[in-house]
Amino acid sequence: MRGLRCTIAQPRLLVNVLTAISFKGVSEMEVCADGEGIKMAVDKSAIIQAEVYMPRKDLLMYELSVEKLVCWVSITPLIEAFRLMMAASLETPADLILTRDGVEVKCEQEDVQAKCEVPAHFHRDRHESLGLLSESNGQYTIMLSSIAKELFAEAEQWGETVDVTLNERGVRIRAGGEAGYYEGNVMSESDAIKHS
């Protein structure tokens, strides 16, 4: 098998983040694996730019048989696959196996044998979005979408602090725990905030 095999220590954290993203109408996300870990990214016409990152050191087991692997995966079936594993064995770590045929999520314990497959595809044009901030009298106006509100709500539940910084693409929001983090550059037409 030429692809990625890893074990995610806290699948519930990943499910919470993927669910928050799917609520915004995003149906697919790019999954990129390399020697450093796994990144799942969303870029929806510059309105929603979000990222889930799981560094290699925070995965229980990690094997990548190619230098880099990139594909597009449907979010909803991936969420359901992890939920199936969690229902079968609550907080038991789940295996994520990614190949050119798709994604397989499974849990193999002494009393639990569960598996779910999610199709993936590898050819898709991706919008390159570089939304710029507008500066007026030393102030930056940032437009936040509702996905940012979801992130703050999730971070509060985790008991985490949230870092908010400005960059050339928008506002960078970061929150997460030991199993990785969620990060987004978010711009939309509502909920303007100003930063001096």
**Token pair of 107 as six digits:** 């849990």
Q: What is the pLDDT of residues 16-72, one digit of tens each?
A: 878 877 777 777 777 888 888 888 877 655 455 667 788 888 788 888 887 777 777
Report the alpha-carbon distance of residue 177 to residue 44 in Å, rounded. 25
Helices 75-89 and 11-22 pack at an angle, to 10 degrees, of 150
Q: What is the pLDDT of residues 74-105, one digit of tens each?
A: 788 888 878 877 776 656 777 888 766 677 77
Domains of the chain, residue spans: 4-195
Report the alpha-carbon distance of residue 110 to residue 166 in Å, rounded. 48
**Token pair of 148 as six digits:** 């940012």
User: Residue type at 71?
Assistant: C
CATH number of 4-195: 3.70.10.10
Q: Answer yes or no: are the C-beta atoms of 21 and 148 closer than 8 Å.
A: no
- What backbone phi and psi angles, to 5 degrees, belong to 3? 180, -145
